Structure 1
Amino acid sequence: MTEYYIALRLPLDENLADFSALLWQQGVAHHIAEEGGSQILRVGDEEQVAVVAELYQKLRSGELHITRHSVAAPQSVQSRSLRQRPAVAVLLLLSILGALLPVLDSSFRAVSSLSFYPLDLGAGKIVADWPVGQWWRLLTPMFLHFGLLHIAFNGLWLWELGGMIEQRQGSVTLLAIVILIAAASNMAQAMMSVSLFGGMSGVIYGLLGYIIVWNRLRPAESLPLVKGVAVVMLVWLVVCMAGFTRLLGLGEIANTAHLSGLIMGVLLGIGASFLRRKSV
C-alpha cells in the first residue's frame, strides 16, 4: 500500500481551495481531510513534504500570490492522467481487444480459448468440463465483451473507479484487487450456470465495494468517489437482479458475477484498511 506523509496541519477555518489548485498545477498529488480539529494535508511522496511547506510559506509571506483566475487548470490533463493510470490503461486495452474478438473471429475459436468454459464449436455447445491446467480462464472472461454498450459502460467505470485506486494506492494494489475480484466473480458465476459469459462488470462492482468500505474505514485517506455514484450503481444492480433488463431488451445479465464481485470488493476493502491501520 502507498504510504502517506503529513505535509501541513492547519486550522479548520483556513480556506485551502486555491492552494490545493496550485499544488495540482505543480503536479503535487495530495489529499486534505479534517482530523483532530485540524485540516491535514497529506502527500504520497516524502520528498514532496518540503515542496508543499516551501510553497505554503511563500504564499503566507507574500512572495507568491494566487487567485482563482490565475490558477488555471493543468494542461495536458488527459495525457498526465493516462501516465498516472498505466494499469487501468492496459486493462482497458485488453477489454477493447476482447470486445473486438466476437466481431473479428466469427468462428469463436479465440473466444472459446478465453471463456471460463470452452466451447465445442462442432456441436455448438458449451463444454461443462473445465480444462485442467488452463488457469487463465479464471481471469480472461473479464476481457470478453459483447456489444458496444457493454464495453462502453464497463470502460467508463473502470477508468473512474480503477483510476481512483491506482492514483492513490498504486498500480500493484489495483492489479491485485482486480485479479482477486475477477477470479472470485468468475468462479461464482460459473458455479451458478454453465454458460458463455464475460465482461468487467463483476470487477467494477468489486472496485465500488472496495472504495465504499475504504472510505468508511479510512476517512482521512478517502478516495474521491462522487456522492450518488454508489447509490446509482447499487440501484442498477437491483434492477438487473430483478430481471428488468430482459424487459428492456438488454438480454441476460451475469448477476451472480456482479453480486459476488461486490462482496469480494467489500472484503478486500476491510482487509486493506486493517493492514493499513497496522502499518501506521
Structure 2
Amino acid sequence: MAEVVGLRLPLSANLERFSLLLWQSSVPHRIAEERGMQVVWVASEHHAEQVKALYARLQAGDPELVVAAVEPREVPPQTVWYKRFFSVPVVAILLVLSLLGALLPVLDRNYQYLPYLSFYQLYIVDGTLRGDWPVGQLWRVITPAFLHFGVMHIVFNSLWLWELGGMIERRQGAVRVFGIFVLVAAGSNIAQAMSSVSLFGGMSGVIYGLLGYIVIWNKLRPSQAFPLAKGVAVVMVVWLLLCIAGFTELLGVGSVANTAHVSGLVLGLVLGAAAALLDRKPL
C-alpha cells in the first residue's frame, strides 16, 4: 500500500502529543524528518484528511483534544522484523529470488539448471562461446537479474534493492515498483546481451534504474521527494564510472556488466520523469 503525506511541519513543531492523539484516534502513521521538515505519513487519503482536521483542532485549543492528548496510553509494540520485511511484498519477493539466484551457481556445479535462467542459450563452438537469442523464451529477458556470482555481489545488490526499492514501494505502491523492475530488468538485460555474448547476471541494472527513478522524481516533484540521503547518487554514479574505466578488473574482481548499469540508469530516469509528469497527485 502506498503511503500518503498527511502533514508537513517545521522541525520546531513538537508533535509528541499530536502523535499520541493520532494513535488514540486509531490513525496509523509515522513521522519522519525529510528535507528539513517533519512529515506525517499515513496509509490513505482518508487518514490524511483526519490528520489535517485533528491538527487544526489541536492548534485551535480544542479542550477535549488537549485532555485526550495528555492521557497515558499503551505504547504500540515495535514491528517485528518479518512484518517489516513483508510490508514491501514485491521487494521481499525480489530479494528471495535473488538469494536463490545467488545459491544456484554454487549448488549447480555442472551448470545443469543455470543455463535455463541465462539470457542466451549458451554453447561452445571451436572454443568460442556462442549463444542463441531467446526466441519464444521471454522469461530469459528477466531472469538474469536474479543470478548473482559471489557473496559481495548479492550482499550489495540486496542492500540497495531493499533501500531504494523499498523506498518506492512504501511511497507509491507494489504495482509501481513491480512495473519499474520488469521494464528496467528487461531493458538493461537486452542492452547487455546486444553488447556481447556472455553469461551475465545481477540486480545492478535494476538498482541503477531505481536510483534514476528516485533522482529525477525528486527533481520534478520536490514536495513529494523520496528521502534519499545526500551524496548517495553521486557515490553510485562515481562507482559506475570507475567500473566503466575498468577499475574492478584492476582489483581482480572481474568484468562488470556496464551496459546493463548504464541502460538501467537511463531507463530509470525516463520512467521517473514520465511518472512525475503523468502522476495525478498534485505537485
Q: Does the TM-score normalized on the shorter chain lie above 0.5?
A: yes
TM-score range relative to shorter protein:
0.7 to 0.9
1:97 to 91, 100, 125: 100
**Relative to 1, partners in 2 of residues 1:150 and 1:20: Cα closer, same or farther, differing over 3 Å?**
farther
Instruction: For residue 227 of structure 2, give the secondary structure of its aligned residue in structure 1.
Output: coil
Q: 1:124 to 1:104 in 2, by over 3 A?
A: farther
Q: Using a 3 Å threshold, how does the CA distance of structure 1 residues 8 and 182 change in structure 2: closer, same or farther?
A: closer
Structure 2 residue 44 is the aligned partner of structure 1 residue 45: yes
Match of 2:224 among 206, 221, 227: 221
CA distance, structure 1, for counterparts of residue 19 and residue 258 of structure 2: 41
Unaligned ranges ≥5, structure 2: none
- TM-superposed deviation, 1:54: 6.2
Distance 1:229 1:65, change over 3 A: farther
Q: What is the TM-score of this pair, normalised by structure 1? A: 0.84
Cα gap change, 1:39 to 1:87, in 2 (>3 Å): closer
Tell me which of 169, 173, 180 is aligned to 2:183: 180
Offset at 1:109?
2.1
Written as runs of structure 1 = structure 2, the 5 A alignment for 1:49-60 is: 49-53=48-52, 56=55, 57=57
SS of alignment partner, residue 223 of structure 1? coil
Match of 1:109 in 2: 112
Tell me how far apart the structure 1 counterparts of residues 159 and 191 of structure 2 sit (CA, whole Å). 24
CA gap 1:93/1:8 in 2 versus in 1, 3 angstroms: closer
1:1-280 matches, within 5 Å, as: 4=4, 7-8=6-7, 15=13, 18=16, 27-29=28-30, 43-53=42-52, 56=55, 57=57, 61-63=65-67, 64-65=69-70, 75-76=78-79, 78-120=81-123, 126-277=129-280
Query: Contact 1:119/1:125 (CA < 8 Å) preserved in 2?
Result: no
The number of residues matched between the two structures is: 273
**Residue 128 of structure 1, CA deviation:** 2.3
Q: Residues 9, 157 of structure 1: CA spacing in aligned structure 2 closer, same or farther, 3 A cutoff?
A: closer
Q: Which amino acid aligns with 1:242?
A: A
Distance 2:226 2:270 in 1: 17
How far did residue 274 of structure 1 move?
Answer: 1.1
SS at match of 2:131: coil
Deviation, 1:111, is 1.1
Identity %: 53
Separation in structure 2 between the aligned mates of residue 256 and residue 53 of structure 1, nearest angstrom: 47
Q: Cα 1:19–1:176, aligned 2, differ >3 Å: closer, same or farther?
A: farther
The TM-score, its normalising length taken from structure 2, stands at 0.83
What CA distance in whole angstroms lies between the structure 2 residues aligned with 1:145 and 1:139? Answer: 13
